[in-house]
Amino acid sequence: MPSISAAASAPGVPAPRAAALPWYVPAVLVAATCAVVGVIWDISWHRTIGRDTFWTPAHLAIYASGIIAGLSCGWLVLKTTFAGSDAERAAGVRFWGFRGPLGAWLCIWGAMAMIVSAPFDNWWHNAYGLDVKVLSLPHLILALGFTGIQLGAVLMVAALQNRAGGEARYGRLLAYGIGILVLNVAILGFEQIGFSQNAHNALYYLVCAAIFPILLVAGARASSLRWPATTAAVVYVGVTLIMVWVLPLFPATPKLAPVYRPLTHMVPPPFPLLLIVPAVAVDLVMRRFGTGRDWRLSALVGVSFLAVLLVTQWFATIYLISPASESFLFGAQRWNYNSLPGDFEHQFWDIRSDPVTPLKLGFAALLAMTSSRVGLWLGNGLARVQR
Amino acid sequence: MSRAGRLAALAAVVLVASAHIGSPDTYFEGSAGPYRLRVIVRSPGVVPGLAQITVRLLDEGHARTVSVLPVYWDPRTAAPPPPDTARIVSGDSSVYSAALWLMTGGSYSVQVTVAGPAGTGTAIVPVQAIATRRLELQKPLAVGLAAVGAFLFLGMLTIVRAAAREAVLPPGMEPDARRGVIGWVAAGLGGVLLLGAVWGGRGWWNAVDSGFSRQLYHPLASAAAVRLDGGRAVLRFSIVDSAWRQHRVTPLIPDHGHLVHLFLIRDGLDAFAHLHPVFVDSSDFDATLPPLPAGRYRVYADITRESGFAETLSDTITLASPAGAWRMSDPDDAWWMGNGQRATGNVDKLADGSRMTWDRSEAPLVAGQDAPLRFTVAAPGDRPTALEPYMGMAGHLMLTRDDGAVFVHLHPLGTISWAAQQTFLLRGPADTVFGTVGRRLTEMERRGAMTGESVGSTVSFPYAFPRPGHYRLWVQVQRAHRILTAAFDAEVQ
């Protein structure tokens, strides 16, 4: 793999003017954000109120992601194809006779997937009952849709950054997009890594090792920032904390039996993982060892990430599961209306059936290395994308 | 099993799967305090699911509010959520409607509360949340999903090809032949991966579908057999289901004074018996058979469990020539034999010379619409008469479609089990031991809570036929200490 500079600018190609942020960039980043905010809101809705319809604000926020991305990128490719300048047309890829940025096509694809998931999901409910599982086939198609939009947004920003010679604001936006993707996978792993009570079992670290390095490392390789992985982790922690603090401000009561907890306000999401600390390690290792010898780098990054994450989460969660943490800052009134109160609230879960052992940690390290290696491949690709 | 075979098997399941048979909706007529009302709960057929409840106020005058609240039979330490206010159905100010969220399979009491000028009253309507049907993917939706799916599949391949071919080229640079090849290779690999994903998705869907099909409601497994005992034919009905024998479900409770109501219907619908077997042990029940004609019989057993879950078990038997003198197992037993002809009129002569008239107009009976099931008994000479409660009810109506796809046992209360309703009234928060509520109910019946005064000469049943077809109805009443059975035929469109 040749070494790639994220800041490499294509020779002879005019970079976008520094003052003019293309209009579609905020649109797709807002779309990417809408989806994760909507999903966190929706999970809170199900944990607080229980019943829902298609028209809940949380669902609307999710689908707004598809609408914003679909309309803005649809307009972008139509304009580029039929009324774009030569430079704009040259900065796109061909798709069935149309032209547009690669990321825009991914956004349109994601929007289509989201739209088709809605009637499918409705039929699914009628056929197999209302949602009792987060992971169903229509929900997976919906998740693929908004994940496609988030990837599309990252691709569009990466292309702009690369064409603009690594301009810092694109680097920041790229890291922001990566942070949204980190939040996205953290939500998908909600059942395994969402609750601090899981932080002393092995599955927690296996899942973290698999899903986080790939994104943090890709971002660190592709973004022109000095602390890209850390910035992405800050976005993940920041958006989650905003939801932790804002959702409980809204009054809500359970509307489904059995009601074991008389909730009065929306349940916040669990406190985020302190991913900033291992992300700093990722940035430091990436910066120290630079480009080239990516296999060695992925091993170093993977092990560093896991080691720092283990120490950070192992000790931080001791406080986070204690009664002392039940406050506005860390999330009070944090359990579902239909979860029977019990001592599980202040215990680590599955520590006997799935303890953290050297063997499992070794396996987690392998996963982290593999994830980092794939992240480097993706990051190299992102650093090269021009259109 | 082929897909078509699987669907046929599932369709068969749908026919038999309900608390009654082939009739999953709940009909109730009664009172909420001072307000008389008729309630219909349309089963969603899935769990968790949304059942639609309709409440019709039968008296003049408007209620201020009608609210509904489904409460699971075993509330443990939970508090119920707030009730839902039913909305007036457009065009009829006496009809209210709401959705019931039934999230757990099993028995619910739906509390229907009416508030108005006369005060506030609540009716308890037992409802069962069971998965009874597998929904087909409608063709327009299937075609639409397939079309968009194909578009997404080809679209993703195009994106992958474009990404590999030209996304890393500086703007304006045309991809050369090498990059063209790279693009096609990437698209090919992407296609393989996508096909794998589609195949995996199909497997997932099939797994969900078969898992759901396995969870469709089935009544407890049962078996019926006939033996000769001292010259008399004795029917043994046994609950053979492992869940029952291993005490994984709540025990039986008496409904109208009997743990089991047994019905025998001869193929051709020309012989019918309503019996009440005595129990030999907790799983086996014996009933001495009346002198029914030989032939093949469908056997239905109505039971109610302590959870309030009422269901109909079924099997078939074949009877030889009529047995000797009948010594009934229970004084509430009764049987009927027709002449093999379909009844055409609205009047049937009863065994004591009185007549029963089905009060209905010439209007056709339509599936899904309220059926006018109102019957009047007149003494010989068309003199007015008074009926007595028969097992605590003004009347019992059993109806079946000629192919056996529908079998329902109705009372003036509707399709609900009276015993189920009582369990919800009798159950307290501390009743965590199996049998407690059943003993309380038995004691209540022993004290005579079911005996009643004269019930007039007319009896009616709230119901709507679930599907078109030929039906036979048997109406049983009691007059002058004698159980009388009338039969009517109905053509439902």
Tens-digit pLDDT profile for residues A311-362: 999 999 999 999 999 999 999 889 999 898 999 999 999 999 999 999 999 9
In a domain, B177, yes or no: yes
Q: ∠ CA(B448), CA(B449), CA(B453), 5° rounding?
A: 85
Both B356 and B305 in one domain: the answer is yes
Domain count for chain B, please give it: 3
Interface mutation vs chain B, best among A54, A89, A128, most B CBs within 10 Å: A128
CB within 8 Å: B162 and A106: no
Q: Looking at residue B7, what is its pLDDT?
A: 38
Both B332 and B428 in one domain: the answer is yes
Which of A55-69, A123-137, B86-100, B128-142 shows the lowest per-residue confidence on average (mean pLDDT)?
A123-137
Rounded to the nearest integer, the mean pLDDT of chain A is: 91
Both B331 and B421 in one domain: the answer is yes
In a domain, B270, yes or no: yes
Interface mutation vs chain A, best among B103, B134, B154, B161, most A CBs within 10 Å: B103
Task: Tell me whether A138 touches chain B (CB under 8 Å).
Answer: no
Both B145 and B123 in one domain: the answer is no
In a domain, B161, yes or no: yes
The distance of A52 to chain B (nearest Cα, Å) reads 10
CB within 8 Å: B155 and A260: no
Q: Looking at residue A134, what is its pLDDT?
A: 72
In a domain, B13, yes or no: no
In a domain, B45, yes or no: yes
Both B396 and B266 in one domain: the answer is yes
Residue A6 has pLDDT above 80, yes or no: no
In a domain, B235, yes or no: yes
pLDDT single digits (tens) A140-168: 999 999 999 999 999 999 999 999 987 88
In a domain, B6, yes or no: no
Helices (H), A223-357: 228-246, 276-289, 294-320
Among B103, B135, B167, beta carbon nearest to A127:
B135
Per-residue pLDDT of chain B (493 residues; tens, 9 = 90+): 344 444 333 333 333 334 588 898 999 999 999 999 999 999 988 888 889 999 999 987 777 899 999 988 876 666 788 899 999 998 788 899 999 988 888 899 999 999 998 899 999 999 999 988 888 888 999 999 999 999 999 999 999 999 999 999 999 889 999 999 999 999 999 999 999 999 999 999 999 999 989 889 899 999 999 988 877 889 999 999 999 998 888 889 988 888 999 999 999 898 999 999 998 998 999 999 998 888 999 999 999 999 999 999 999 999 887 766 778 888 888 888 887 666 667 888 888 889 999 998 888 999 999 999 999 999 888 888 888 888 888 899 999 999 989 999 999 999 999 999 998 888 877 777 888 888 888 888 777 655 555 678 899 999 999 999 999 999 999 988 889 999 999 999 9
Both B164 and B257 in one domain: the answer is no
Among B72, B137, B170, beta carbon nearest to A10:
B170
Both B87 and B107 in one domain: the answer is yes
Both B153 and B178 in one domain: the answer is yes
Interface mutation vs chain B, best among A124, A130, A155, most B CBs within 10 Å: A130
Q: Looking at residue A131, what is its pLDDT?
A: 67
In a domain, B255, yes or no: yes
Structural domain boundaries, residue B105: 25-129
| List of chain A residues whose C-beta atoms are within 8 Å of the C-beta of residue B205 | 137
Q: What is the ipTM of this complex?
A: 0.89
Structure tokens at B36: 């008389």
Whichever domain contains B113, its CATH number is 2.60.40.10
A272 DSSP assignment: P
Closest residue, chain B, to A94 (C-alpha): B162
CB within 8 Å: B208 and A340: no
Both B328 and B412 in one domain: the answer is yes
CB within 8 Å: A137 and B134: no
A 353-382 residues with CB < 8 A to B = 381
Both B184 and B292 in one domain: the answer is no
Both B76 and B143 in one domain: the answer is no
Residue type, A108: I
Both B204 and B227 in one domain: the answer is no
End-to-end CA distance of chain A: 21
Among B79, B155, B171, beta carbon nearest to A10:
B171
CB within 8 Å: B81 and A254: yes
| List of chain B residues whose C-beta atoms are within 8 Å of the C-beta of residue A258 | 72, 75-76, 78-80
Average confidence (pLDDT) over A255-282: 93
Task: Tell me whether A129 touches chain B (CB under 8 Å).
Answer: yes
pLDDT single digits (tens) A360-382: 999 999 999 999 999 999 999 99
Q: Looking at residue B238, what is its pLDDT?
A: 94
Residue A246 has pLDDT above 90, yes or no: yes
Residue A13 has pLDDT above 70, yes or no: no
Task: Tell me whether A158 touches chain B (CB under 8 Å).
Answer: no
Residue A12 has pLDDT above 60, yes or no: no
The distance of A237 to chain B (nearest Cα, Å) reads 31
A 209-228 residues with CB < 8 A to B = none
The distance of A53 to chain B (nearest Cα, Å) reads 11
pTM above 0.95, yes or no: no
**CATH number assigned to the domain covering A192-387:** 1.20.1450
Q: Looking at residue B10, what is its pLDDT?
A: 37
